[in-house]
């Protein structure tokens, strides 16, 4: 029996208000409107950015269905959709690619104007929602909302991928892996023989390490206050591991001493202002490049000595690893299928979707790298 054109009732994890557990509810998912796609989510990863909404560090409207790193299968398409059909394997894109704005048309950027990251409106591009629960409208998250059995996305915010791809692995290409890997390859453009420092060894930080290694970096220094993270960092390519707690002096001084002049490239993959300035200070004073990969906490400001930049350093940001989403995600999936990089070491836990609260506890206690929820 086809569900196309009909409202689907299914399970979803609804966040009714901040700092509360997820509530597994029955929600109604409206059919896709013109240029929209309804997707059956098969696997979704738990990302720190989802938790940032719960804590208020990333401001979004409640009630909301979170989740933005996922893979699934097209259930039905709205009017005017020609590039997707039911049964296609897809990855939703929290950074869309409309193909029409300046960012999409140019070669320099990847942050499509149609993104909901800055806006934080929590609605579809037409200003409405496709989710209701107990008679209430539920907000979308970054145009994706993947903590649900079915979701609706705009056709500019979904990529068709290889039909043979294992969805429980490639879901990470929807956010965490691509964000870190691209920060090294696309944003920093790490060169062979260079030295790198990576602050923060969660799923994204480890993906930065994978990117630095693929780029041919000769030295990759992993930095974290949790030494339990070091074994996996080394497995994925880190040459040195440093715990700032083991030193009296500031971490940037430790890294400058280790490297002589500082690193060529540094990456802040935590989202803390103190580590952002440390990452800037530890890179080479004239041509060093420091990339902010972590989502910065709302309403925090940085104070730093502008002399750090005057001597020539570059300080950059990176969203979704600088990849143009619709173009790049299918290629990254193909690269995974061709064994150019691994994803398995990043996935430490696989849980049924109903155990979402346990998955977030694993993240908050530092026990997991990536937990993938299966439907």
Catalytic one of 47, 112, 212, 283: 47
**Cα–Cα nearest to 331, from 344, 319, 343, 340:** 340
How far apart are the C-alpha atoms of 265 and 307, rounded to whole Å?
18
CB atoms within 10 A of CB 97: 25
Catalytic one of 104, 175, 212, 283: 175
CA dihedral defined by 356, 358, 362, 363, rounded to 10 degrees? 30
- The angle that helices 48-55 and 356-364 make with each other, rounded to 10 degrees, is 90
Most distant pair of Cα atoms in the chain: their distance:
67
How far apart are the C-alpha atoms of 131 and 44, rounded to whole Å?
18
Whether residue 52 lies in the annotated active site: yes
Whether residue 175 lies in the annotated active site: yes
Whether residue 68 lies in the annotated active site: yes
Tokens (6 digits) for 238: 């880190």
Catalytic one of 10, 52, 101, 112: 52
**Cα–Cα nearest to 264, from 165, 193, 347:** 193
Catalytic one of 68, 139, 140, 252: 68
C-alpha pair distances (Å), 51 with each of 13, 18, 93, 360: 13, 10, 18, 8
Whether residue 139 lies in the annotated active site: no
Whether residue 252 lies in the annotated active site: no
E-assigned strands of 66-149? 70-77, 89-92, 131-133, 136-138
CA atoms within 13 A on the CB side of 328: 23
Catalytic one of 2, 10, 35, 49: 49
- The residues assigned a catalytic role are 47, 49, 52, 68, 175
């Amino acid at each position: 029996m086809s569900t196309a054109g009909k409202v689907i009732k299914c399970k979803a994890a609804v966040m009714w208000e901040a700092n509360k557990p997820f509530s597994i509810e029955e929600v109604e998912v409206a059919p896709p409107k013109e240029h929209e796609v309804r997707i059956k989510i098969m696997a979704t990863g738990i990302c720190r950015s989802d938790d940032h909404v719960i804590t208020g560090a990333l401001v979004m409207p409640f009630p909301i269905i979170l989740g933005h790193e996922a893979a699934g299968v097209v259930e039905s398409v709205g009017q005017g959709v020609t590039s997707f059909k039911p049964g296609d394997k897809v990855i939703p894109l929290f950074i869309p690619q409309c193909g029409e704005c300046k960012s999409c048309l140019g070669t320099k950027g990847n942050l499509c104007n149609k993104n909901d990251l800055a806006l934080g409106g929590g609605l579809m591009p037409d200003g409405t929602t496709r989710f209701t629960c107990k008679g209430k409208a539920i907000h979308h998250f970054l145009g994706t909302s993947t903590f649900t059995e079915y979701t609706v996305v705009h056709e500019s915010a979904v990529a068709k991928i290889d039909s043979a791809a294992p969805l429980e692995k490639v879901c990470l290409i929807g956010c965490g892996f691509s964000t870190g890997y691209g920060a090294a390859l696309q944003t920093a453009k790490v060169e062979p023989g260079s030295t790198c420092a990576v602050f923060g060894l969660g799923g994204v930080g480890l993906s930065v390490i994978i990117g630095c290694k693929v780029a041919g970096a000769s030295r990759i220094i992993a930095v974290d206050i949790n030494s339990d993270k070091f074994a996996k960092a080394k497995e994925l390519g880190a040459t040195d591991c440093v715990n700032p707690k083991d030193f009296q002096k500031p971490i940037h001084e430790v890294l400058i001493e280790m490297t002589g002049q500082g690193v060529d490239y540094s990456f802040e993959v935590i989202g803390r202002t103190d580590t952002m300035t440390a990452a800037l200070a530890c890179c080479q004073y004239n041509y060093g490049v420091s990339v902010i990969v972590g989502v910065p906490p709302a309403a925090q400001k940085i104070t730093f000595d502008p002399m750090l930049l005057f001597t020539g350093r570059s300080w950059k940001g990176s969203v979704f690893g600088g990849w143009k989403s619709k173009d790049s995600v299918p290629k990254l999936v193909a690269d995974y299928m061709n064994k150019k990089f691994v994803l398995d070491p990043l996935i430490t836990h696989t849980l049924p979707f109903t155990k979402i609260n346990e998955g977030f506890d694993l993240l908050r206690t530092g026990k997991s790298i990536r937990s993938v929820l299966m439907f």
